[in-house]
Chains A and B, each alone.
With several copies, the nearest count.
Chain A
């Protein structure tokens, strides 16, 4: 997850990281571990749940509304619970819906796992879950789950590239990190990112500034 990637970057075990958690990334740069933060692309989060949609979230107008409907009937909800970018997003969505996720009862399952494992859990018990679209489309064990809600602009998910500061970790391969950054922001990458599709759906939108 994002946490472990940031940690590896701080220790200097990697030359650069590509993550999605703006606040943590900014601290990373401020603390002098990364030279800078460069936005590369974005995709979006989606709310997934059982095809029968017991909470009727498909009819909600906003992400907050969808979460309120789930809370109203206390339908089983799986949370990443691992401080990852996705988990942080989910917590902030709950609070903008007016709830404190930490106070929920047993219907709210914090599974403390990666996206794939969490999706497996949700599929195993027919629960609602927040996922990024890419992981969902890549996921093979969809079971009885389907995307029920998406499109609210708050579900926007920005990925950024942060090279590790060679002044702090002299052994890092700064040249390679620069080459990768140049490539990631090049027209070739733009083409590849924008046209990458799974099951006919585009996943990412390139938004790096030259």
Chain B
């Protein structure tokens, strides 16, 4: 109990003293996770919507696979990305290993199935509602997907936020491909893992609370920006 309190205290001090290291790794966390979120959303939202709209032979199998991919173990993703990007791997020449880019790649792989799966679920209901009209109007596949994405943007927000949450809290994969290098690839979660390893639980918890506060901030920010819950909206 005491440890948890001193963790909160540590978080408080880190924040009020504007600890330079803290600011650096917090910004890097945000940069990596938001980049991953944007890239993953660009891939996953249309794909999830497309899955809701299209009927094809292996649709069931695709959906089951997508759901299963939500469970991609981060460590395995990290390993595979490591092997691909390592000097002896096929993309070794790019020299991306142990850079924030590598971390973004790993996170994109982890959160894309999650976002796509939640998006698919949400879009399925909307598609059931719009189906007859959009078919009747002879819309193209692309138009259907764009219409659903636009009119279902509120539901897609949850998908995006789930993805962001997964990304910002993830540590297994980015530890492997980013290496937790000080001043280069250290982010909040890897720093927490480091402090835990050192047995400095106060600092680890403190960083953890900073991370949670950050997640809350982003969520409240997005919610109030998009006014999702305001009465009288869709």
Contact = CB atoms under 8 A, between A and B. Distances in A.
Q: Please say whether the chains A and B touch (CB closer than 8 A).
A: yes
Contact of B198 (A8, A109, A140, A144): A140
Nearest to A83: B198
A138 B198 contact: yes
B191 A142 contact: no
Contacts of B184: 106, 109
B87 A171 contact: yes
Among A81, A115, A120, A143: residue with most chain B CB under 10 A: A120
B197 A13 contact: no
Contact of A82 (B89, B176, B181, B197): B197
B199 A112 contact: no
A110 interface: yes
Interface residues of A, number: 40
B180 interface: yes
Given A110-B181, A143-B88, A169-B87, A117 B98 contact: no
Contacts of A109: 98, 179, 181-182, 184
Interface stretch (A121-129, A150-158, A184-192): A121-129
B190 interface: yes
A27 interface: no
B143 to A, nearest CB: 46
Contacts of A106: 183-184
A112 B186 CA distance: 9
A115 B197 contact: yes
B196 A124 contact: no
A163 to B, nearest CB: 15
Contacts of B182: 81, 109-112
Contact of B199 (A6, A113, A125): A6
Contacts of B97: 13, 124-125
Interface string A178-204: 000000000000000000000000000
A162 interface: no
Interface string A88-123: 000000000000000000100111111111011101
Contacts of B193: 112
A138 B210 CA distance: 24
Q: Would you call the interface of chain B mostly helix, strand, loop, or mixed?
A: loop
B201 interface: yes
Given A4-B198, A124-B98, A139-B199, A113 B179 contact: yes
B198 A1 contact: yes
Contact of B181 (A1, A4, A11, A111): A111
A49 to B, nearest CB: 14
Contact of B82 (A1, A84, A119, A120): A120
Contact of B197 (A110, A114, A125, A171): A114
A141 interface: yes
B194 interface: yes
A138 B177 CA distance: 21
B175 interface: yes
Interface in B185-219: 186, 190-191, 193-194, 196-202
Given A3-B197, A109-B181, A123-B199, 11 more contacts: A5-B199, A111-B182, A113-B175, A113-B194, A114-B197, A116-B197, A117-B175, A117-B196, A124-B97, A141-B200, A142-B199
Interface of A: 1, 3-8, 11-13, 81-84, 106, 109-117, 119-121, 123-126, 138-144, 169, 171
13 contacts: A1-B198, A3-B200, A11-B86, A81-B194, A82-B194, A109-B98, A109-B181, A112-B191, A115-B197, A119-B199, A124-B179, A125-B97, A140-B201
